[in-house]
Structure 1
Amino acid sequence: MDKTSTDKASTKYNVPALNKALLIIETLAEQADPMGVSDLCKLLEIPKTSAFFILNTLESQSYIRKTEDGKYALGTKFLTISASILNKMDIRELARPFMRELRDSSHYTVHLAVLDHGEALYIEKQENEGFVKFSTYIGQRQLLHISGVGKALAAYLPLPLLDSILDEKGLPRRTDHTITNPDEFKKALVTIRSQGYAIEDEEGELGVRCLAAPIFDAQQQLRAAISITALRNDLGVQQIPMIGELVRKTALQISQALGYTDTEFPINIPE
């Protein structure tokens, strides 16, 4: 079937009134201010009678609302629908293509983790194609202070929750580089928030470096963290700013896919 035949087949089953309703909705979404019936009809070339019936139907279902001066804007129903869509998103499925892109552009192994019972829980992993493979696995847990994803999560936790986790889990030493002092750890978290990504430099395992960044949702709630993991010899100190920024941008892209509207991560943490 050629393109002309396909187009004819697709338009054969169109519902004209529904097409007009969708055009009205999309137009109201694009406009900064409410629009009157006459302006809508002129812009969309829709007869006033058709527009009147469509607008009344949409208004009765709260898809649009009428302002005091008789103009129209989108209604609250779309907030309910968008919230439902966002709540049903599987963050693993959503993040996977971004993780693959980060893996392919950096050539490092990529992890996705969430906070679970005061620990970082790996929920997805994209292994690099190199000779060295890391023994991390989906379902593995890491203490917050010895993993990149853990530090990225910890940096954006409310202070009472962070204190509760540190009281319960402590800051046990894993290597000579591990931060074991709570005040020092909190100072490190301030640095993470200021630069937008965390650095875990042989703090959990000698010879291994991780760079990680947080992921937020539409309600600006912390949802997860993403990281790259590399051998120290494969990720030199001079490369950290560039790769760290790449991780941060990937985390921001995933956040925006979840509905996060800010262009930067928060500097201050909630009380």
Structure 2
Amino acid sequence: MTDGNAGTVKSVETMFAVVDVLRERDGARVTAIADELDLSKSAVHKHLSTLRNHRFAVKEGDEYRLGLGFFGYGSYVRTRYDVFRKAKPLIRELADETGEMVWLITEENGMGMYLFGDGGSLDVNVDSLVGTWRHLHLNSGGKAILSRLPEERVVEIVERHGLPRRTDATITDLDELLAELETVRERGYALNLAEDMAGIHAVGVPIVHRDRVQGALSIAGAANRLTEDRIHDEYADRLLTAVNDLELNLTYR
């Protein structure tokens, strides 16, 4: 039965809410889920049983956790992106060369998702970030993507998702964001100077194939290593060259 106000299926919305709780809590008991979502325990149990039947949840003692069924679908979706398949070896090369984190991000429905990453020589669990969503204005890859979208599309994304603040350096004004995107278009790369996370700098370059932005590559690291001068003098050119090679590979695959 559909929700007439939102045009969505209420039972499916509830199912996804249960899934979100399981992910955010890294597993939960029926009572905890029911309390958080203001549902009856019997309703939550039915949703969890459905998820278990389709391998999207497992029960460990009294707790339920997300199952590997999601992994199969996620892997399938990711491999459908040509840019993911072509970028993987290049990302690993850049990470080895720079010793810093290198990321591939793409946009869907106005949000950015990390498709792949490599931590270079850093002891960083990149898998914890892969598959997560980010507002596009917060990071260099996201701003690189926004710079290649029509202004009306950028405005639409901001109206839908807002410009939430993560640090004191985060851009939260639309006019300021549009002005920065013009600078990104002129120089070819975007900066993230502690706008998503304090103490982290990054540079990102959009990936464009057949006049459509496919995503962005970015290099990120500690601000004391990735200084603004070093980004401009060294990392930006290396990233621009890498993206140019990637775009050629996408064209002549």
Alignment RMSD? 1.7
Aligned to 1:223: 214
Matches for 1:17-56 after TM superposition, within 5 Å: none
| 1:136, distance to aligned residue in structure 2 (A) | 4.9
Given that residues 165 and 171 in structure 2 are in contact (C-alpha distance below 8 angstroms), is that contact kept between their aligned partners in structure 1?
Answer: yes
Count residues in correspondence: 172
2:109 pairs with 1:117: yes
Alpha-carbon separation, structure 2, partners of 1:200 and 1:194 = 16
Alpha-carbon separation, structure 1, partners of 2:165 and 2:238 = 29
Instruction: Please report the TM-score for the alignment, with normalisation by the length of structure 2.
Output: 0.64
| 1:165, distance to aligned residue in structure 2 (A) | 0.3
Give % identity: 30
| 1:90, distance to aligned residue in structure 2 (A) | 2.6
Q: Who wins on radius of gyration, i.e. which is larger?
A: 1
2:96 pairs with 1:104: yes
Instruction: Please report the TM-score for the alignment, with normalisation by the length of structure 1.
Output: 0.60
- Residues 211, 202 of structure 1: CA spacing in aligned structure 2 closer, same or farther, 3 A cutoff? same
Q: Which moved more, 1:187-196 or 1:237-246?
A: 237-246
| 1:235, distance to aligned residue in structure 2 (A) | 1.1
**TM-superposition CA deviations, 1:183-212 (whole Å, max 9, x none):** 110110011111111101000110011110
Instruction: For residue 258 of structure 1, give the secondary structure of its aligned residue in structure 2.
Output: helix
- Residues 148, 133 of structure 1: CA spacing in aligned structure 2 closer, same or farther, 3 A cutoff? same
Aligned to 1:193: 185
Selected match of 1:127 from 116, 119, 124 = 119
Matches for 1:1-271 after TM superposition, within 5 Å: 90-131=82-123, 136-217=128-209, 219-241=210-232, 242-259=234-251
| 1:126, distance to aligned residue in structure 2 (A) | 1.3
Alpha-carbon separation, structure 1, partners of 2:231 and 2:139 = 16
Aligned to 1:76: none
**TM-superposition CA deviations, 1:143-168 (whole Å, max 9, x none):** 01111111111111111211110111
| 1:118, distance to aligned residue in structure 2 (A) | 0.6
Match for 2:172: what amino acid? T
Alpha-carbon separation, structure 1, partners of 2:143 and 2:175 = 14
Match for 1:236: what amino acid? T
Alpha-carbon separation, structure 2, partners of 1:131 and 1:144 = 26
Given that residues 138 and 192 in structure 2 are in contact (C-alpha distance below 8 angstroms), is that contact kept between their aligned partners in structure 1?
Answer: yes
Match for 1:129: what amino acid? S
Aligned to 1:68: none
Aligned to 2:73: none
Alpha-carbon separation, structure 1, partners of 2:157 and 2:81 = 28
Alpha-carbon separation, structure 2, partners of 1:122 and 1:131 = 18
Q: Structure 1: 5+ residue runs without aligned partners?
A: 1-87, 261-271
Q: Which moved more, 1:160-169 or 1:131-140?
A: 131-140
Alpha-carbon separation, structure 2, partners of 1:131 and 1:225 = 23
Given that residues 216 and 258 in structure 1 are in contact (C-alpha distance below 8 angstroms), is that contact kept between their aligned partners in structure 2?
Answer: no
